[in-house]
């Protein structure tokens, strides 16, 4: 039954690594204990034994995933009419609770200006410009690291991130503000002969390492206060609270998951004009934060 469920389930998963993980967890943790038992003879005690064994050694997250996958296989058997009921309901309650995931560190909007000024002092130019572009585009760090010159369209006014680099495995369009295009012009002087915008100087032909931007923020004194992903949270907060743009427009630009499939298919083609305006508004807002304050003129 697990093999039949996997044939249905695996094609729906976004990448081969995830597919391998789903299959491997069943093979390693479920099959040795319940794999050879008739599907209608597996009792609650055996299910509990399997998931608790998976938890051994502190593998709490793994055990919760095993419980979910065992339950899915038994639900599949139930839907196929092979069993009328099973004992996997609420199986995770016998496990240690999952750790609560804390949101990625992100600065409040009133500290954005100081951060941008600090970034401008960073000595290594590719990293400095990358952090600035990350702030301006608020894409995920992996999407930016893999950016290629041939992904720029409309004379550099539009960046199309291919589906394979997106979390939701759907292409994503990023309108580029004047400020973003200026940064790319600087980067072209450094890496323009390579295919990758953020071509590694240490390993040509490869993007800069995945921790490049995070470690740069650490060096600037923002450890525990700001992450590369934090620019997304900052943009979301400011755009929703201050910009006046519709939430749908903001969500499309953040490339967040749309829960309604029909709405998602429709909206992905929408709002490009508004998104161009949004990205320019955001770039201008960042400039307004990082500009030095005007001196106070004495009266008298």
pLDDT digits (tens, 9 = 90+) for 117-174: 999 999 999 999 999 999 999 999 989 999 999 999 999 899 998 888 887 777 888 9
pLDDT of 224 reads 87
Q: Give yes or no: 229 in active site.
A: yes
Q: What is the pLDDT of residue 102?
A: 55
Evaluate if residue 259 carries a pLDDT over 50. no
**Cβ–Cβ < 8 Å for 89, 78:** no
Distance CA 143, CA 140 (A): 5
- The residue whose two tokens read 């009328």 is 84
Q: What value does the mean pLDDT take over residues 90-115?
A: 82
Partners of 148 in the beta sheet?
Answer: 196
Evaluate if residue 296 carries a pLDDT over 50: no
Q: What is the DSSP letter of 33?
A: H
Could you say which of 69, 86, 165, 232 is catalytic? 232
Kindly name the residue from 69, 86, 140, 172 that is annotated as catalytic: 140
3-state secondary structure of 244: coil
Are 25 and 66 within 8 A, CB to CB? yes
Tell me the helix, strand and coil percentages in the chain, rounded to 5. Answer: 60, 5, 35
Active site residue 148: no
What's the token pair of residue 218? 């650490």
Q: Is 18 a catalytic residue?
A: no
Active site residue 86: no
Separation of alpha carbons 157 and 133, rounded Å:
14
Q: What is the mean pLDDT of residues 262-273?
A: 57
* Position 269 pLDDT exceeds 70: no
**Per-residue pLDDT band at 14 (split at 50, 70, 90):** low
Active-site position among 229, 252, 271, 275: 229
Tell me: the pLDDT tens digits for 164-191? Answer: 888 777 788 899 999 999 999 999 999 9
Confidence (pLDDT) at 166: 82
pLDDT of residue 290: 81
Return d(Cα 270, Cα 292) in angstroms, integer.
37
Among positive and negative, which fits the CA dihedral 142, 144, 145, 151? positive
Q: Is the pLDDT at 86 greater than 90, yes or no?
A: yes
Catalytic residue among 18, 203, 256, 257: 256
Q: Is 232 a catalytic residue?
A: yes
- Please, what is the average pLDDT of the chain? 87
Rounded average pLDDT over 50-70? 92
Model confidence at 270, pLDDT cuts 50, 70, 90, reads low
Task: Answer whether residue 267 shows pLDDT above 80.
Answer: no
Q: Using DSSP, state whether 12 is helix, strand or coil.
A: helix
Q: Is the pLDDT of residue 64 over 90?
A: yes
Distance (Å, rounded) from C-alpha 286 to C-alpha 277? 14
Strand partners, 100: none
Provide the angle, in degrees to the nearest 10, between the axes of the packed helices 60-79 and 16-25.
Answer: 80
pLDDT top residue among 295 and 30:
30
pTM of the model: 0.63
Which is the catalytic residue, given 18, 98, 223, 266?
266
Sole residue written with tokens 């955001």: 282
What is the pLDDT at residue 16? 78
Contacts 24+ apart (CB under 8 A), 19-24: 22/69
Here the tokens at position 154 are 């409309």
Beta-carbon contacts of residue 145 (< 8 Å; ≥ 6 apart): 130, 198, 207, 208, 210, 212
pLDDT at 133: 96
Q: Enter the tokens of residue 159.
A: 């960046």
Q: Evaluate whether 107 touches 284 at the Cβ level (below 8 Å).
A: no
Q: Phi and psi at residue 52, in whole multiples of 5°?
A: -70, -35
Beta carbons of 26 and 33 less than 8 angstroms apart = no
Choose, from 18, 167, 203, 257, the residue flagged as catalytic: 167
Give the pLDDT of residue 295.
40
pLDDT of residue 167: 76
Q: What is the pLDDT of residues 186-213, one digit of tens each?
A: 999 999 999 999 999 889 999 998 899 9
């Amino acid at each position: 039954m697990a093999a039949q469920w996997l044939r249905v389930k695996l094609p729906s998963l976004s990448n081969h690594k995830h597919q391998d993980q789903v299959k491997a967890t069943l093979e390693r943790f479920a099959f040795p204990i319940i794999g050879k038992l008739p599907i209608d003879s597996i009792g609650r005690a055996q299910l509990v034994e399997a998931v608790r064994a998976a938890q051994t050694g502190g593998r709490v997250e793994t055990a919760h995933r095993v419980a979910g996958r065992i339950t899915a296989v038994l639900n599949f058997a139930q839907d196929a009419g092979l069993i009328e009921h099973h004992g996997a309901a609420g199986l995770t309650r016998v496990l240690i609770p999952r750790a609560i995931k804390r949101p990625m560190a992100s600065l409040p909007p009133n500290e954005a200006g100081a951060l941008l000024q600090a970034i401008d002092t960073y000595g290594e130019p590719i990293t400095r410009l990358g952090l600035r572009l990350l702030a301006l585009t608020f894409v995920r760090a992996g999407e930016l690291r893999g950016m290629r010159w041939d992904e720029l369209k409309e004379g550099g006014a539009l960046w199309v991130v291919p589906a394979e680099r997106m979390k939701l495995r759907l292409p994503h369009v990023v309108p580029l503000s004047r400020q973003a295009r200026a940064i790319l012009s600087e980067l072209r002087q450094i890496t323009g002969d390579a295919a990758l915008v953020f071509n590694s100087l240490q390993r040509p032909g490869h993007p800069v390492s995945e921790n490049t931007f995070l470690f740069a923020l650490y060096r600037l004194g923002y450890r525990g206060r700001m992450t590369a992903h934090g620019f997304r949270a900052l943009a979301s907060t400011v755009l929703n609270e201050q910009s006046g743009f519709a939430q749908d427009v903001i969500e499309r630009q953040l490339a967040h998951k749309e829960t309604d499939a029909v709405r998602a298919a429709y909206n992905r083609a929408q709002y490009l004009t508004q998104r161009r305006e949004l990205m320019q508004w955001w770039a201008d807002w960042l400039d307004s934060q990082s500009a030095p304050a005007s001196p106070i003129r004495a009266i008298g």
